[in-house]
């Protein structure tokens, strides 16, 4: 997919949230063998070094793998942004990162000043060591504040999106600024897999429920990076490009939205953990 900074990003990736560090290298290595070329990690996941090990050991040329990491919540001040970005590069064993995100806006911390953090993130692109800069879990007002202050919109906004929580306000606000939406928790942390409507559509298409949900995301234009530590599930999640959901099937999945009650992760307006 083309981003607003004229770069491109694979629409399907592989997530590493809650993958234990001691199992990350083998897990990411298996994902790369399956065919994934977009790996998502974060400073807070504590597994950047192991992701870097897997990428280095894969033998795949660096320019064929898209790497994302995210700024840890305790590192929002400018000097910490610069310092820990360099640490991220070292851990990943790369001299350039494809995408770096502010992980959470933290509007109740740092005197509510995530604009300064955004400005520091923008500095990182000056010397070519960071290709694209973005945010994660930013609400419409958060996006408006950083764009109004700098005139520069993030390349992506990584937000919670799944059939039980379509998060349309944040999604639409992102699109209004030409920001691509990355959907974290695309399977609703597993909750949507047992939904009766999803099961019906899976039967109609001859596909697994996870494939139906991931295909729904693709057709909506979301960037996704499902996580699994089982190779057979990695392969299943990867095999979603050879079928299409009908408009009627898409509408049925859309109707599963539960609004705010469907949110499974923290609310970005109040989340303040560092």
Catalytic, 17? Answer no
List, in sequence order, every residue forming a beta bridge with 160; answer none if it has no partner: 184
Name the nearest CA neighbour of 82 among 145, 133, 8.
Answer: 133
CA 158 vs CA 50, 91, 252: distances in Å: 22, 22, 24
Q: Which position among 36, 45, 66, 164 bears the catalytic label?
A: 45
Closest CA to 139 of 161, 116, 117, 159: 159
Burial class (CB in 10 A: 0-12, 13-18, 19+), 50: buried
Contact predicate 115/87, CB 8 Å:
no
Q: CA 3 to CA 143: how far, in whole Å?
A: 16
Which residue in 1, 134, 10 sits closest to 65, CA to CA? 10
Instruction: Classify burial at 111, counting beta carbons within 10 Å of its beta carbon; exposed 0-12, middle 13-18, buried 19 or more.
Output: exposed
Count the neighbouring beta carbons within 10 Å of the beta carbon of residue 98: 22
Task: State whether residue 14 is helix, strand or coil.
Answer: strand
Active site residues: 45
């Amino acid at each position: 997919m083309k981003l607003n900074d004229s770069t491109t990003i694979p629409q399907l990736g592989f997530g590493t949230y809650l993958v234990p560090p001691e199992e990350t290298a083998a897990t990411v290595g298996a994902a790369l063998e399956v065919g994934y070329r977009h790996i998502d990690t974060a400073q807070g996941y504590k597994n950047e070094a192991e992701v870097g090990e897997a990428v280095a050991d894969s033998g795949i040329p660096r320019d064929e793998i898209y790497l994302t990491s995210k700024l840890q919540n305790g590192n929002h001040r400018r000097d910490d942004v610069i310092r820990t970005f360099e640490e991220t590069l070292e851990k990943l064993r790369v001299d350039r990162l494809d995408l770096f995100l502010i992980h959470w806006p933290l509007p109740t911390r740092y005197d509510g000043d995530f604009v300064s953090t955004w400005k520091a993130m923008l500095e990182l692109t000056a010397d070519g060591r960071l290709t694209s800069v973005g945010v994660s879990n930013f609400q419409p007002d958060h996006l408006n504040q950083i764009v109004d202050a700098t005139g520069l919109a993030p390349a992506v906004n990584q937000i919670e999106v799944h059939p039980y929580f379509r998060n349309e306000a944040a999604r639409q606000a992102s699109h209004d600024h030409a920001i691509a939406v990355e959907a974290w928790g695309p399977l609703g942390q597993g909750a949507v897999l047992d939904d009766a409507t999803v099961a019906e559509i899976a039967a109609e298409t001859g596909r697994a429920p996870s494939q139906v949900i991931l295909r729904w995301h693709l057709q909506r234009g979301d960037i996704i990076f499902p996580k699994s530590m089982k190779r057979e599930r990695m392969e299943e999640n990867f095999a979603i490009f050879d079928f299409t959901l009908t408009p009627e099937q898409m509408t049925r999945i859309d109707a599963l939205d539960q609004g705010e009650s469907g949110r499974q992760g923290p609310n970005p307006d109040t989340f303040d953990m560092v």
